[in-house]
A and B are shown apart, each in its own frame.
Chain A
Amino acid sequence: MKISRRNLLKSIGVSMAGGIFINGVSSQRVFGEEKGISKVHKPVLPPPTGKRVVILGGGYSGLYCATTLRDLAPEAEIVVVEKYPFFISGPSHVDFVAGLKHLDEITRSYDPIAGRNIRVIRSEVIGVVPEEKKVLTASGNLEYTLLLISTGIRIADEDVLNLIEQPASNAHAWEIGETVEMRKRVEAFTGGRFVVTVPTAPFKCPPGPYEVACLLREYFNNKKVKAEITVVDANDKPQPGPLAQKWTGVLEAREIKYMPNSKVVEIAAGARQLITDKGEKVGYDLVSIIPPNKAATFIRDAGLGDPFVDVDPATFSSKKCDHIFATGDCAKVPYTKSAFTASLQGKSVAHHLAMALGPLGIDVKDPDPIYNVCYPYVSSEESMMVRADWDRDGKMLKADADNPKKEYASSRAAWERGLISGLFGS
């Protein structure tokens, strides 16, 4: 899709038709004046006096970019736009759902980030106008010199029939509000059929759905709740693919029924049934549908890629606009959609942003290549280990995996603590 003001207007039109008004400007006026849409949209900040890098998304990727760039480009103005008031670490969503952690253990204020001369603005991104180097947010527009998009994934509820009309029928561990709701439902579950569904790859945290099934098997057993657990998987094998053999053994040992190649296309909440693409009906008493994972719609509307931002995996630079970069789950890169690679991508892109900003008096070198380490739970006491390494161009060099071990469960805890403390200090 060509990047155009018309496309952006279309997307804004949809938002506004849904009731969102930008600083009191009526939809009639906006639709009536196609030219200068960003002019009627009041600025959040005055135009930059120097070089301003705007980072969309205050997750691992965005924040590691911001803090690394702060060191590499001390003179640059750095602005992070984030829709949530607090940072909540993603990998522990499954811990929370299974009762292994409280949310306060993994929730942090953005104050330590702001304390490093990084401006954090709470707002929702509505659109990007690449030709004007402007971001439109629900609070106003924002001009930039360079832009990083690291908004993560969007859960595409609309791809499962009836899910938009019956949102309360589902809960999962892939978004924070849903995660809290899912924990409540898990605690209230008194027995019966628990079904977790897996979308077609790629999706955020590939081992996550199987971890949830395994951890809840243990939780229900400990509570002496009789549960028949089923994983309904749109893929032909458990994800990530290289762990498929291990996962099938793990699921089998825990009497978790596994249904490969079965994509859930509809929920019939009244009948407590899921319908697969084969027309099979799967009954449930507690359900966790993970809908397809896509990037935010403003990315497609700005012509930057669909369903993810098209970037060069070596530099994270957009293939459509040289002043736009993208990292993490919203970018089309060969790296696993995990918190760990997101953080390394954030550090890496900071170097490329610093180089793109021009001479700043600091010798910026090419960043290290990306790798991933992850410790998927099979129980509260044991995790597997998986590691993959890529070269600078995103080509996978080597990969390794190991069977469940107790020491890997400790490694997992240290792994996430390290990710959090790297940003917030504790």
Chain B
Amino acid sequence: MACLARRLSVFLIIAGFISLWELGRPVTLSAAEEIAPSPPSFEKRVNVKKGLVAFVEVKAEEPVTIYIMYSTQYTKYKATGSADGILEFKNITWLIYPIPALMEEQTVYFVSFVPKGGPKREDILLYTLYEDIHARIDRLIKGEEMLRAGMEMAVAGGTEVIRLTPLIPGLKVRLDFSGDTRFVIVKTIDLARYRKGVKSFEQLYEESDLKGSEKGINFSTTDFEDLYLIVRTPGPIRVKSAIHATKESAESGC
């Protein structure tokens, strides 16, 4: 655990925002005992007071599925075991998810589903870092760049589509791949054409400005349109995204 905490601190220093938050203590998730789903699940309740935004960071040694649910969804999940209609992140080893409480206190549950032979409860760490929403906006407007969301997911190989969202103008996006791969970033309508077979990966690769066959890419968003990363890889890799907010994004209205 100490090792993970140290790694997180290094990450925070590298990202340049160690001074922005009071780093929360890592906690392990508690076992969900009321139901017995298969595979096992671990969970943590996060309360966010009005005026604050909580950046919840989940780290797992091996890929897990993470569900994020509000109270009513959690109640239903506990009663029925159904995660239907709940926000889901699959094959995750690292996730930073913001929970803003602009108008009222928010209560959100993080539930991790672990595949058979996957990490144990102790290997899944959850950190909660709180920040005042208005103070954060002030710093952005003064020119600081701050992490807004991030994710690392395992890709087994072949072709994978990953949605980069939510995007607003002025965000800085960094994508890293643990191995060489071919990738292209497209808008929604081109994703639809690709899925339907109207456009091939090669056609999209030819047409797009955001593409590569290396270990990473940096770019800035220019509008509100969703973007999709289509990755082609011969073997298992990990794909990491980090999205930073800027002054321009703070003024864009979201």
Known contacts A200-B226, A259-B85; is A249 also within 8 Å of B192 by CB? no
Q: Is B104's beta carbon under 8 Å from chain A? A: yes
Give the chain A neighbours of B85 by CB distance below 8 A. 257-260
Give the chain B neighbours of A259 by CB distance below 8 A. 85
- Option from A161, A248, A394 in Cβ contact (under 8 Å) with B73: A248
Give the chain B neighbours of A381 by CB distance below 8 A. none
Give the chain B neighbours of A258 by CB distance below 8 A. 85
Q: Is A332's beta carbon under 8 Å from chain B? A: yes
Q: Is B6's beta carbon under 8 Å from chain A? A: no
- Residues B106 and A245 in contact, CB atoms below 8 Å apart: yes
User: Would you list 15 pairs from A and B whose C-beta atoms are within 8 A, ordered by A residue?
Assistant: A161-B189, A200-B165, A201-B254, A202-B224, A236-B87, A236-B165, A242-B101, A242-B102, A245-B106, A257-B85, A260-B85, A266-B196, A279-B195, A292-B188, A395-B134
Q: Is A14's beta carbon under 8 Å from chain B? A: no
Q: Is A159's beta carbon under 8 Å from chain B? A: yes
For window 148-189 of chain A, which residues contact chain B by CB distance below 8 Å?
Answer: 158-161
Encoded as 1 (CB less than 8 Å from any A CB) or 0, chain B from 104 to 131 comes to 1011000000000000000000000000
- Residues B141 and A277 in contact, CB atoms below 8 Å apart: no
**Shortest distance from the beta carbon of B153 to any chain A beta carbon, whole Å:** 14
Known contacts A202-B253, A248-B72, A306-B223; is A265 also within 8 Å of B88 by CB? no
**Shortest distance from the beta carbon of A328 to any chain B beta carbon, whole Å:** 13
Give the chain A neighbours of B71 by CB distance below 8 A. 245, 248-249
Give the chain B neighbours of A202 by CB distance below 8 A. 224, 253-254
Give the chain A neighbours of B72 by CB distance below 8 A. 248-249, 252-253
Cα A265 to Cα B101 in complex, Å, equals 30
Chain A contact residues, CB within 8 Å of chain B: 158-161, 200-202, 234-237, 241-246, 248-249, 252-253, 257-261, 263, 265-266, 275, 277, 279, 292, 306-307, 313, 332-335, 386, 388, 394-397, 399-401
Known contacts A161-B189, A200-B166, A257-B84; is A244 also within 8 Å of B70 by CB? yes
Give the chain B neighbours of A248 by CB distance below 8 A. 70-73
Known contacts A259-B85, A263-B188, A265-B195; is A399 also within 8 Å of B103 by CB? yes
Give the chain B neighbours of A241 by CB distance below 8 A. 100, 102
Q: Is B155's beta carbon under 8 Å from chain A? A: no
Closest to A310 in B: B169
Q: Is B154's beta carbon under 8 Å from chain A? A: no
- Residues A263 and B107 in contact, CB atoms below 8 Å apart: no
- Option from B87, B188, B254 in Cβ contact (under 8 Å) with A261: B87
- Residues B253 and A307 in contact, CB atoms below 8 Å apart: no
- Residues B192 and A275 in contact, CB atoms below 8 Å apart: yes
Known contacts A245-B70, A277-B191; is A334 also within 8 Å of B223 by CB? no
Give the chain B neighbours of A161 by CB distance below 8 A. 189, 192-193, 196
**Shortest distance from the beta carbon of A290 to any chain B beta carbon, whole Å:** 14
**Shortest distance from the beta carbon of A160 to any chain B beta carbon, whole Å:** 8
Give the chain B neighbours of A246 by CB distance below 8 A. 104
- Residues A249 and B70 in contact, CB atoms below 8 Å apart: yes
Cα A396 to Cα B103 in complex, Å, equals 11
- Residues B226 and A252 in contact, CB atoms below 8 Å apart: no
Closest to A266 in B: B192
**Shortest distance from the beta carbon of B118 to any chain A beta carbon, whole Å:** 22
Q: Is B137's beta carbon under 8 Å from chain A? A: yes
Q: Is B78's beta carbon under 8 Å from chain A? A: no
Encoded as 1 (CB less than 8 Å from any A CB) or 0, chain B from 158 to 184 comes to 000101011001000000000000000
Give the chain A neighbours of B7 by CB distance below 8 A. none
Give the chain B neighbours of A399 by CB distance below 8 A. 102-103
Give the chain A neighbours of B100 by CB distance below 8 A. 241-242
**Shortest distance from the beta carbon of B109 to any chain A beta carbon, whole Å:** 12
- Residues A252 and B253 in contact, CB atoms below 8 Å apart: no
- Residues A234 and B252 in contact, CB atoms below 8 Å apart: no
Give the chain A neighbours of B138 by CB distance below 8 A. 395
Cα A149 to Cα B27 in complex, Å, equals 52
Cα A100 to Cα B104 in complex, Å, equals 30
Give the chain A neighbours of B84 by CB distance below 8 A. 257
Give the chain A neighbours of B254 by CB distance below 8 A. 201-202
Cα A334 to Cα B196 in complex, Å, equals 36
- Option from A201, A237, A275 in Cβ contact (under 8 Å) with B87: A237
**Shortest distance from the beta carbon of A169 to any chain B beta carbon, whole Å:** 15
Give the chain A neighbours of B102 by CB distance below 8 A. 241-242, 396, 399
Q: Is B228's beta carbon under 8 Å from chain A? A: yes
Give the chain B neighbours of A396 by CB distance below 8 A. 102, 134, 137
Closest to A231 in B: B85
Q: Is B215's beta carbon under 8 Å from chain A? A: no
Q: Is B251's beta carbon under 8 Å from chain A? A: yes
- Option from A261, A265, A306 in Cβ contact (under 8 Å) with B191: A265
Cα A307 to Cα B226 in complex, Å, equals 13
- Residues B70 and A235 in contact, CB atoms below 8 Å apart: no
Cα A252 to Cα B66 in complex, Å, equals 21
- Residues B103 and A401 in contact, CB atoms below 8 Å apart: yes
- Residues A201 and B192 in contact, CB atoms below 8 Å apart: no
Known contacts A159-B189, A263-B163; is A334 also within 8 Å of B253 by CB? yes
Apart from A265-B191, A306-B223, what are 9 other A-B pairs with CB-CB below 8 Å?
A: A161-B192, A234-B226, A248-B70, A257-B84, A258-B85, A265-B192, A307-B225, A395-B134, A397-B134
